Chain A
C-alpha cells in the first residue's frame, strides 16, 4: 500500500510525469494556435486632454481626428496555417473598481458644487476608419454605454478574409507595411458634454485588443 504522502523518489517521478502529461494535453485541447506573430505598432499608451473652457466649445463639442493610429501586423507561422486570422476590439474602462458608477467617466477632480451629474460614458464617441473600409463600423461615430463595453472593429471568429482583398472584415495575415489600407486603423474621437454635467476633471480609458482567432 502506498502512503498518501510518499516522498520516495521513484513515486515522485511518476507523479511529475503524470501531471506534466495532463498539462500538455489540456493546453493542446484549448489552445489552437495558427499565427506566428500578432502585434500593434507602436503599442505605447496615448494620453489625450480635451479642455472645455468656452461656451462655444461646449456647444460645438470637441473632435480630435487621428487621436491614435492602430497599425496591425499579423504574421503566419513558418509553415503557413490557413486558419491564421485575427480580431480587433475596443474595450472601455472607467476604473469602476475604485467606485466609479459603471456608466460614468472616472472623476479625478470636481470644480464647483457638484450638484449635477458626472459625464456619462456615452458622451464619448469613437470613429474608426481606413482606406478600404474594412471595419463594419468604418466612418461612423459609435459610443459605449458602460464600463467594459466592447465594440468590435474586426469581430472575432469570422471566416478568414485574406489581406489584399480590400474588402469588409479583412482578417488574414498581413501587415500595415504591405497592406496599409487594410491594416492601419485611424481613430477619431468626439466629445460633446451636456450642460447638466458637473464641471471637473474626468478620465476614460479605451483599450485596443488585437487577438488571433482560436
Chain B
C-alpha cells in the first residue's frame, strides 16, 4: 500500500512539473537562393568588315574602320574581356587564310600574313589592368603614325587558339590573375544599362586598321607581348612582301569570369 501511495504521489508531482513547462510553438521558412551567373556580351557589327586595297594611297595610309564594332557588357560576376585573332588555319594557325592569290607567285611574295597585322583601338581605356606587366595592357593607345611602327594596337594571337592572354598581353577590360584587388585584374559586375556617364567600363567601340605600307610588309604586325615585330620583312627577310590576293580571318571577342 505504501509502495502504491509513493508511486501515485510521484506521478502526480511529475505531472504537475511537466504541465509547468513554458508554452512555445515554431514555424520555419527556408529560403533557397539560386544565383545563376549571367555573362552577356552584346555586339553590334557587320558580318564582314572589308578592307579593299586598290589604291596606292590605301597602301601608304592604311584603311581604318571607325567604330566598326560596339561591345556592350552585362555581368553579374567579376569579368575579363579580350579579343583574339583566329583563322581556319589553311596557311598556319597564326596566319590569315588565303582564299585566292593574284600575280605570278614570285618567290618573294609571301602568302602567310600574320593575324597580328590587324590593329584594334578601343575608345575606353582598360581600368582593370593594374597588375599587367606587359608593354601594352590594352588597345586604347592612339593608332601610331605610319612612319613609326608600333606594337601598341596589334591584335593578340595565341597559336590559333582562344587561350586567354597572359599578364604580358592585351585585354580590352580586366586582366590575367585573380587577386581580387579592385582595379588590378578584373572588372566588377555591372552593366552598360546602369551607367550614366559619357564613358562606361561596360561599353566599348572598336576601331580597326590595316596598314600594308609600301612595299606591303604590314609594319605594325607584332607578337602578343609587343616586344617582337612580325612584319613580312622581319620574319621572311629583306625583299619579301605580301602576296596580292584575298585573305580572311576573324576576331573572337571573349567575355569570361575573372581568372
- The interface of chain A, by Cβ under 8 A from chain B, is 13, 16-17, 20-21, 23-24, 27-28, 31, 33, 35, 37-40, 42-55, 58-59, 67-68, 70, 105, 108, 111-113, 115-116, 119, 124, 187, 189, 191, 193-212, 214
Contact = CB atoms under 8 A, between A and B. Distances in A.
B124 interface: no
B29 A199 contact: no
Interface in B183-217: 188-191, 193-194
Given A27-B20, A201-B35, 7 more contacts: A40-B25, A46-B29, A53-B38, A55-B76, A191-B33, A201-B34, A208-B29
A119 B194 CA distance: 22
27 contacts: A24-B13, A24-B17, A27-B20, A31-B21, A33-B19, A35-B23, A40-B27, A47-B30, A47-B32, A48-B32, A50-B31, A53-B38, A55-B74, A58-B38, A111-B35, A113-B178, A115-B180, A116-B180, A119-B35, A195-B76, A196-B77, A198-B35, A206-B30, A210-B27, A212-B22, A212-B23, A214-B22
B193 to A, nearest CB: 8
Interface stretch (B2-10, B104-112, B161-169, B237-245): B2-10
B146 to A, nearest CB: 42
Question: Max chain A CB contacts within 10 Å: which of B10, B26, B35, B76?
Answer: B35
B60 to A, nearest CB: 46
Interface of B: 2-3, 6, 9-10, 13-14, 16-17, 19-38, 40, 74-78, 178, 180, 188-191, 193-194, 257-259
B interface: dominant SS: mixed
A67 B33 contact: no
B31 A203 contact: yes
Nearest to A73: B25
B32 A203 contact: yes
A51 B35 CA distance: 6
